[in-house]
Structure 1
């Protein structure tokens, strides 16, 4: 994933030797991906700016020009990683909206699969370890509406509320509650090394969907 060639070497540059916009964007991506790998493997304390620059195939001056400190890299990378839709695997297309139970089940299954991926579990562990030092990271990355899936569930609820099928006065809050039921307990256990069996995970998802739908029934 990384390269030992500094950005722009062997490639065309703008006049004056400055990297093109494409080269600069590619370098930003390499830095973030390399830093993410190092933070997950070695933690914050075990990762150095020298290591990030070497893994990204760039120079320390180029790295410091973008991020003046390791803390700045960490803040940027953590928020970026949580919101990525292509990592640790590409997000599938949104399910059809017409069948509420089927859509919620599919969304919950995908959310839980992502939450239990080893890379996400490790990211959660690193984030928790430094939550007291960087509380704004948690607010920015885990706050209301931070993840696109929250909006997907909220839009799904609006669709069915509009047809009178469910009561959903605050779709965003309900979306958070649903995703919390679907993922929080298994993800927290995984952060302590406790991984449930596939059968238990399936049962958990089914129960979360059933309980959530029961609470949405019109009075």
Structure 2
């Protein structure tokens, strides 16, 4: 007689990943309010009890989907080590916008914004979690770049100032493209211009921090 009970840990993890991937698909397509656990269960090929065992409510599932996706999208390798400091910051800027301006990310952000009135606590919690994770991820990148001889003596890159400097970098490089993407049903125009924007914004950022390229 076969043993019954909980599935092996690796199988349980596979089921959870399948549920989260299905929920991502449904939330992006339907929004938070339009998504249902029934549809998520169908897409995930999992029973509703399997979902509720892992996530106590649709709100809990939505929060986990958004935070996991942001964490996955925000995973960044070290910035390019070749080129001068301006080129390296430009590469970092391009990497940031490429990771952020994706159909799934923009769809989830629209869903979060749509819940700001109906579910303000949910939207606010997700907003601050995304902001904290994004700042921490990019700050590691900026801290590495700040070791370069050309800029390490600049006050903006002093350890105490690094969190604020990082937020300014994010605001200049990413925020305009993210705002633009939220208002475009077709992201093609945004994706076409985002790399040039990131390079120009990174160069502007460095000048604002007091860096003057040799020969400028």
Same fold judged by TM-score > 0.5?
Answer: yes
- Three-state SS of the structure 2 residue aligned to 1:58 is coil
Q: Conserved in 2, the CA contact under 8 Å of 1:141 and 1:147?
A: no
Partner of 2:142: 153
Partner of 2:17: 29
| Larger RCO (CA under 8 A, 6+ residues apart) | 2
Partner of 1:108: 93
Could you state the TM-score of these two structures normalised by the residue count of structure 2? 0.80
Number of matched residues?
201
Q: Counterparts of 2:45 and 2:136 in 1: how far apart (Å)? A: 30
Tell me which moved more, 109-118 or 52-61: 109-118
1:210 aligns with 2:203: yes
Q: Conserved in 1, the CA contact under 8 Å of 2:139 and 2:163?
A: yes
- Aligned with 1:41 (options 29, 47, 52): 29
Q: Counterparts of 2:53 and 2:84 in 1: how far apart (Å)? A: 50
Q: Conserved in 2, the CA contact under 8 Å of 1:145 and 1:172?
A: no
C-alpha distance after superposition, 1:176-198 (max 9, x if no partner) = 21121011112101101173473
Tell me which moved more, 141-150 or 70-79: 141-150
Q: Conserved in 2, the CA contact under 8 Å of 1:83 and 1:146?
A: no
Q: Counterparts of 1:211 and 1:162 in 2: how far apart (Å)? A: 16
- Aligned with 1:177 (options 155, 168, 171): 168
Q: Conserved in 1, the CA contact under 8 Å of 2:135 and 2:163?
A: no
Q: Counterparts of 2:130 and 2:152 in 1: how far apart (Å)? A: 33
The Cα of 1:68 is off from its aligned counterpart by 1.6
Q: Counterparts of 1:163 and 1:210 in 2: how far apart (Å)? A: 13
5+ residue gaps, structure 2: none
Q: Conserved in 2, the CA contact under 8 Å of 1:154 and 1:172?
A: no
Q: Counterparts of 1:77 and 1:32 in 2: how far apart (Å)? A: 6
The Cα of 1:41 is off from its aligned counterpart by 0.6
Q: Please, what is the CA RMSD of the aligned residues?
A: 2.8
Could you state the TM-score of these two structures normalised by the residue count of structure 1? 0.79
- Aligned with 1:61 (options 18, 39, 49): 49
- Three-state SS of the structure 2 residue aligned to 1:40 is helix
Q: Conserved in 2, the CA contact under 8 Å of 1:144 and 1:172?
A: no
Q: Counterparts of 1:218 and 1:70 in 2: how far apart (Å)? A: 48
Q: 1:138 to 1:56 in 2, by over 3 A?
A: same
